[in-house]
Chain A
Amino acid sequence: METVTLTIKNQPGLYLEADTITPDAFAGKKAEEIAGLPVYVGRDEHKLGEFFEISGKAGATAAETKIVVKGDLSRVKYIGMKMTAGEIVVDGNADMYVGAWMQGGKITVNGNVDAFAGTGMKGGELIIKGNAGNYLGAAYRGDWRGMSGGKITVAGNAGSDLGTFMTGGEIVVGGDVDVHVATHAEGGKIVIKGNAKSRLGGQMVEGEIYVFGNIDVMMPGFAYREDVDIEVDGTKGRFALYEGDLGERHRKRKGQTIYAKLYQQIRA
């Protein structure tokens, strides 16, 4: 695997929209060619090389390409958008849409990400060592097709509207989350190791939510069913199982109605 290193040298006046920072766009290119890839500031097109010092070279294919992005990237959007293979390491904080619509490969962010990370994600792995913003693994504005595959892991906290319209894949949050979890979801699995606030599973059709800590307010559309002993992401424990959203439509399998499931750990 070949490595390309990008170090930010000029901060954009507004925000930099850099959906070309992907192993797919870099594959087969030398540093000078990568510097010529287009990026946008507002409506103006620029070249990647105007903002980044670029060294190394890409592999022949996306799968053989690793990208390391260094410096303060808190004004750089769309890193790793739609990537299908390869690896990106972001050494710092990144702005919105990290790994949005990604289909494969791996992104590691050694810092925080802003909103819409993993939007419409289909596959691959997104690891955030810091905190995530709102709309993690959600659908794009207006769309009904949220995260459908892959795995997102956040070491810190996540914001509101986590996993909206999720249909598959997995999100694990090490810390706390804000309001609205898995709204409209029709599949997938969300694990919250810290505390949650309210509106978990609103209009949720199918899928699973696991909460290890407190839930401030439970949705009235979720009903308690039973206590179960399960293992979740390496943690064994007793969980209270709720089913919902009772106000939503649900399909049946072998005569049984399939509900969305919300598990909350019972602590002594």
Chain B
Amino acid sequence: MAEYLIKNGFVFDPVLGIKGDAADIAIKDGKIVETTALSSPKVIDATGKTVMAGGVDVHSHVAGPKVNVGRNFRPEDKLFGYKARSGIERMQGGFSVPTTIRTGYNYARMGYTTVMEAAMPPLYARHTHEEMRDTPILDQGAYPVFGNNWFVLEYLKNHEIENTAAYIAWLLKATKGYAVKVVNPGGTEAWAWGLNCENVHDPVPYFDITPAQIIKGLIEANEYLGLPHSMHMHANNLGNPGNYTTTLDSFKLSEGIKPNSKFGRDQVMHHTHVQFHSYGGDSWANVESKAKEIMAYVNSHDNLTIDMGQVTLDETTTMTADGPFEHHLTELNHLKWANVDVELETGSGVVPYVYSPGIKVCAIQWAIGLELALLANDPMRVFMTTDHPNAGPFIRYPRIMKWLMSQEARDQQFDAFKHKDKVIDATNLAGIDRELSLYEIAQMTRAGPAKALGLAHMYGGLAPGLEADVAIYDFNPNEPCAPDAIETAFGNAEHLFKAGVQVIRDHEIASNGNKRTLWVNAKVNENPQVMRDVKEKFLRYYTVTFNNYEVTGHYLPNPYVIEVDATQ
């Protein structure tokens, strides 16, 4: 493989602790190496430019059946947005629910190289893998959803952690999944009965278990297995005024549990899109930010990581396994609604949404997301996301960087709001003058998420031995610039390397890369009871047979297996 030497760029790397000093980065055989290890490298002059590791997205909905429902029922999302094939680039389409091809290219253009699909319904894992297979450049993994799964509900009702862990290990292998995802625990199952679980003690109909039992049990099972990532949580009561107490109650369920993982993470719970879970007030008329209360808890508890779920003020497509929430949303905005029930496992809903700067609540949501990041004491535990496409399309990450790095940019946005004064009254953001540095941005978008995923041995930094995922941006951090220059530069990487392959050259896609799919193979002691339960459920309830369920080899043409040994 070609060797590269990226010379003299301003490097921002939390792994090496480099905060914008000029340094050389060497690439050989797909890895970062010491510069002395190169013999005759191609030299890229990065003088006056910014160099970072490839971005890592911990939570994004980019592949699978509910993304495709979004594509299918929103032809207007593709209107006038097509780009014809040209050179190595394949045809691209779509805005908030782009084609797989555009997804890969647009992440790459922002300098991102690893993206996790945040909710995979196990029954439709094959579809999810087919879409990931067709997404170029990016390394990807997918989180199967467990929080409303009948096996989990039955085992955890009796606090059977070992059985739950054995089932998780089996399902991760069957679906080629990466982590344990929980969405509205118990609530989506309750939705199949026309109900919901609005707090952690609200019982699930028929199963007679509470969300608190599900959450705590899944954290314990996750640590029993010692998986690379922690339990990945979307709590109950998303998107409702006053829900921050439910969020804090959910956080507290992780207290006293220590991480048991050889993969270097410190958290036992990752809570996603916290913006949607940080609302005070008791109605949309008096909804207000509780980001201070939420961040006070996060800042003082090391075994927790979160991501933002930043509202970007765009027209987008919401999609979640939180079925009851999507029904709530369509009742609010009267736009079209799709709802799916996935047999014994989960459900989902899809509704378009317009986050308008003219609507007070949308502007408050925008402020809350930024507050979470700006009130973070440790940027290694608070990650940038938009919960793509729920709070906005991922292509807005550079715009979020602009808002986080520039108070001037935030002030400009405040001035563009119709209800500016009311928004300022209901939030804390106007009183925050913090401007994040590129080093802190690198923590929130590279080193932090890589560590939380248990992938710090591969991604998130530029230390020798790591994957050669390197982004070079046409941005001089030492010169004054208008806020918009941040957005322009970081949305349009000048060069990008993925595992040592140059996938962007002079701002153009130069290669479709060698995309890998990551999954976790957790070995557990033989558990005849769980395997009997699985086979019985397939015989009695599933619409597919046991033998047609597993995702097999050809769905993952380039798999990367992370082995975990939990036999004892």
B335 is an interface residue with CB less than 8 A from chain A = yes
Q: Which residue of A lies closest to B331 (CB)?
A: A249
A236 is an interface residue with CB less than 8 A from chain B = no
* A142 and B77 alpha carbons, distance in the complex (Å): 9
A259 is an interface residue with CB less than 8 A from chain B = no
Is A142 touching B74 in the complex (CB atoms < 8 A)?
yes
For A45, the chain B residues whose CB sits under 8 A away are 84
Is B84 touching A43 in the complex (CB atoms < 8 A)?
yes
Least Cβ–Cβ distance between B75 and chain A, in angstroms: 4
A233 is an interface residue with CB less than 8 A from chain B = no
* A27 and B266 alpha carbons, distance in the complex (Å): 63
For B75, the chain A residues whose CB sits under 8 A away are 140-143
Is B335 touching A140 in the complex (CB atoms < 8 A)?
no
Is A144 touching B335 in the complex (CB atoms < 8 A)?
yes
B76 is an interface residue with CB less than 8 A from chain A = yes
For B73, the chain A residues whose CB sits under 8 A away are 142
Q: How many contacts between A and B, using CB within 8 angstroms? A: 20
Q: Which residue of B lies closest to A143 (CB)?
A: B76
Least Cβ–Cβ distance between A83 and chain B, in angstroms: 15
Determine the main DSSP class of A at the interface with B: loop
Least Cβ–Cβ distance between A115 and chain B, in angstroms: 15
Kindly identify which residue among A43, A141, A249 contacts B76, using a CB–CB cutoff of 8 Å.
A141
B1 is an interface residue with CB less than 8 A from chain A = no
Least Cβ–Cβ distance between A247 and chain B, in angstroms: 14
Is B334 touching A249 in the complex (CB atoms < 8 A)?
yes
B252 is an interface residue with CB less than 8 A from chain A = no
- Chain A proximity mask over B474-504: 1 for CB below 8 Å, otherwise 0: 0000000000000000000000000000000
- Chain A proximity mask over B38-75: 1 for CB below 8 Å, otherwise 0: 00000000000000000000000000000000000111
For A249, the chain B residues whose CB sits under 8 A away are 334
B79 is an interface residue with CB less than 8 A from chain A = yes
B258 is an interface residue with CB less than 8 A from chain A = no
Q: Which residue of A lies closest to B79 (CB)?
A: A140
- Chain B proximity mask over A137-151: 1 for CB below 8 Å, otherwise 0: 000111110000000
Per the 8 Å Cβ criterion, residues 102-159 of A in contact with B are 140-144
Q: Which residue of B lies closest to A140 (CB)?
A: B76
B336 is an interface residue with CB less than 8 A from chain A = yes
For B335, the chain A residues whose CB sits under 8 A away are 144
Is A144 touching B79 in the complex (CB atoms < 8 A)?
no
* A143 and B334 alpha carbons, distance in the complex (Å): 13
Least Cβ–Cβ distance between B408 and chain A, in angstroms: 34
For A140, the chain B residues whose CB sits under 8 A away are 75-76, 79
Is A142 touching B76 in the complex (CB atoms < 8 A)?
yes
Q: Which of A45, A140, A141, A142 has the most CB of B within 10 A?
A: A142
* A45 and B422 alpha carbons, distance in the complex (Å): 50
Least Cβ–Cβ distance between B91 and chain A, in angstroms: 8
* A181 and B72 alpha carbons, distance in the complex (Å): 25
Is A144 touching B336 in the complex (CB atoms < 8 A)?
yes
- Chain A proximity mask over B5-49: 1 for CB below 8 Å, otherwise 0: 000000000000000000000000000000000000000000000
* A141 and B79 alpha carbons, distance in the complex (Å): 9
Per the 8 Å Cβ criterion, residues 294-345 of B in contact with A are 334-336
Per the 8 Å Cβ criterion, residues 58-114 of A in contact with B are none
* A143 and B79 alpha carbons, distance in the complex (Å): 10
For A141, the chain B residues whose CB sits under 8 A away are 75-76
Least Cβ–Cβ distance between A187 and chain B, in angstroms: 14
* A210 and B71 alpha carbons, distance in the complex (Å): 37
* A140 and B73 alpha carbons, distance in the complex (Å): 12
* A244 and B525 alpha carbons, distance in the complex (Å): 65
Least Cβ–Cβ distance between A61 and chain B, in angstroms: 23
Least Cβ–Cβ distance between A149 and chain B, in angstroms: 19
Per the 8 Å Cβ criterion, residues 71-122 of B in contact with A are 73-77, 79, 84
For B352, the chain A residues whose CB sits under 8 A away are 144
* A249 and B331 alpha carbons, distance in the complex (Å): 10
Q: Which of B76, B84, B335, B352 has the most CB of A within 10 A?
A: B76
Q: Which residue of A lies closest to B76 (CB)?
A: A143
- Chain B proximity mask over A49-64: 1 for CB below 8 Å, otherwise 0: 0000000000000000
For A143, the chain B residues whose CB sits under 8 A away are 75-76, 79
For A144, the chain B residues whose CB sits under 8 A away are 335-336, 352
Q: Which residue of A lies closest to B72 (CB)?
A: A142
* A43 and B82 alpha carbons, distance in the complex (Å): 11
Q: Which residue of B lies closest to A45 (CB)?
A: B84
* A142 and B84 alpha carbons, distance in the complex (Å): 22
* A43 and B84 alpha carbons, distance in the complex (Å): 8
Q: Could you write out 16 A-B pairs with CB less than 8 Å apart?
A: A43-B84, A45-B84, A140-B76, A140-B79, A142-B73, A142-B74, A142-B75, A142-B76, A142-B77, A142-B336, A143-B76, A143-B79, A144-B335, A144-B336, A144-B352, A249-B334
5 shortest A-B CB distances, which residue pairs? A143-B76, A142-B75, A141-B75, A142-B76, A140-B76
Given A140-B79, A141-B75, A143-B79; 17 other pairs, CB 8 A cutoff: A43-B84, A45-B84, A140-B75, A140-B76, A141-B76, A142-B73, A142-B74, A142-B75, A142-B76, A142-B77, A142-B336, A143-B75, A143-B76, A144-B335, A144-B336, A144-B352, A249-B334
A: which residues have CB within 8 A of B?
A: 43, 45, 140-144, 249
